[in-house]
Amino acid sequence: MKAIVVESGNLSLQTIPDPVVGDDEVIVDVVAAGVNRADLLQRKGLYPPPPGAPDTLGLEVSGRISAVGSEVSGWSEGDEVCALLAGGGYAEKVAVPAAQLLPVPEGVDLTSAAALPEVACTVVSNLFGTAHLQPGELVLIHGGSSGIGTHAIQVAHALSARVAVTARSQAKLARCDALGADILIDYTQQSFTDVVNESGGADVILDIMGAKYLRPNIDCLRTGGRLVIIGMQGGVKAELPIGLMLGKRLSIHGTTLRSRPVGGVGGKAEVVRQTLATTWPLIDAGRVRPVIDSVLSLADADTAHARLDSGEAIGKVLLAVAPV
C-alpha cells in the first residue's frame, strides 16, 4: 500500500507492507485522514508513537472496513466508519482496534468524517470527562479557530455552556462567533484575563499553550475553576502560584489522548463510548458540524503540514487518500 513515510524530517509517498488484522481489530481502507499538530511534532522527532503503534503519521481517518478480526462483533466489511488511532493514518489502509471505531454521523460525508474522531474525543474527554463542564458555566477555549476549538465551541454551546474564545484575528473570531461563541478575544490586542474577569471569570479553561498561559489562566479562573492543559505550544515549565490556587480551590489537569490504552478506566474505548453518547446525537441533529479548512491529496502531505503550521487554518486540514 501507499503511505507517507518520514525520513530525516522529510515526507515522501512510498510503498510499505499492508497491515495485518488482529483478532480485535478491523482493517479500514482509508478515504481521508486528519492532520494534527501531533503529526508535526512526530515529524520533528519530538513526539514518538506509543509502543506498538505504527511509525506512520496520522491519528484519525475515515473510510470503509475491508477486513474484520475474529473477535470483532457489530462491524462488517463495507461499513463506513471514522476512527481514532495511535498512528498509521497517512496510508491507504490501517488496522484499528474495533473499540476505536465510530460510525459516520448522519449528514456528514465520508471525507469530512475524518475531521471528527480526534477533536470529538479530545473535547468530550477533557471538557466533560475531566472538567465536568455544566450548563450555564463559562468555558474559555484557547485557539478557538483551531480544529479542537471550532468543535469545542459547538459542543459547549449546544450543551448550554457559555463560551469565550481567544484567536489572533477578526476573521477567525468572526468564524468562532458564527459557531456559537459568546465572548470573542483577540489576544494580540486584548488581555484575555481582563476580558474574562470582566465577565465574572471562567469556570473551565481548555488550554493548548501550557507554560506561557499558566499564570494568566489561573488569574481568570473563578473559585472552584478547572484548568485542563492539553498542549505545550507556549512552553513546558512555569511557576505555579500555589497560594492563589489553594485560595480559589482550583484544580489543574494535564491530559493526553494518544498514549492512553485501548481498555480500562479512561482508556480510548471508554472515551469513544462517551463521545458517541455525547456528541454523535448533536451531529446527527445538525447542531455540531465538522469545520474543514482544506483538503489536500495524500501526496501533498507536506503542503498540508505547512498549512497547519502557518496558524492560518480555520478548522481541520485533511488529506484525501482515496476517492469516495
Say if CB 278 and CB 303 are below 8 A apart: no
> What pLDDT, on the 0 to 100 scale, is given for residue 299?
97
> What pLDDT, on the 0 to 100 scale, is given for residue 324?
81
> What pLDDT, on the 0 to 100 scale, is given for residue 94?
98
* Residue 18 DSSP symbol: P
Confidence (pTM): 0.96
* Residue 6 DSSP symbol: E
> What pLDDT, on the 0 to 100 scale, is given for residue 245?
96
> What pLDDT, on the 0 to 100 scale, is given for residue 165?
98
Strand ranges, E, within the chain: 2-7, 10-15, 25-35, 60-68, 80-84, 93-97, 101-103, 138-141, 162-167, 183-186, 202-207, 221-229, 251-254, 292-297, 316-320
> What pLDDT, on the 0 to 100 scale, is given for residue 201?
98
Domains and CATH numbers, the chain: 2-115+291-320 (3.90.180.10), 120-254 (3.40.50.720)
pLDDT means over runs of 10, the chain (324 residues): 96 97 98 98 94 95 98 98 98 98 97 98 98 98 98 98 97 98 97 98 97 98 98 94 97 96 97 98 97 98 98 97 90
Between strands 25-35 and 93-97, the pairing is antiparallel
| Rounded Cα gap, residues 88 and 11, in angstroms | 14
> What pLDDT, on the 0 to 100 scale, is given for residue 208?
96
Who contacts 60 (Cβ-Cβ below 8 Å, separation ≥6)?
Answer: 33, 34, 36, 82, 83, 84, 85, 89, 114, 115, 116, 117, 118
> What pLDDT, on the 0 to 100 scale, is given for residue 234?
94
Strand-pair partners of 204: 139, 226
DSSP string, 251-305: EEEE--STTS-SSSTT-HHHHHHHHHHHTHHHHHTTSS---EEEEEEGGGHHHHH
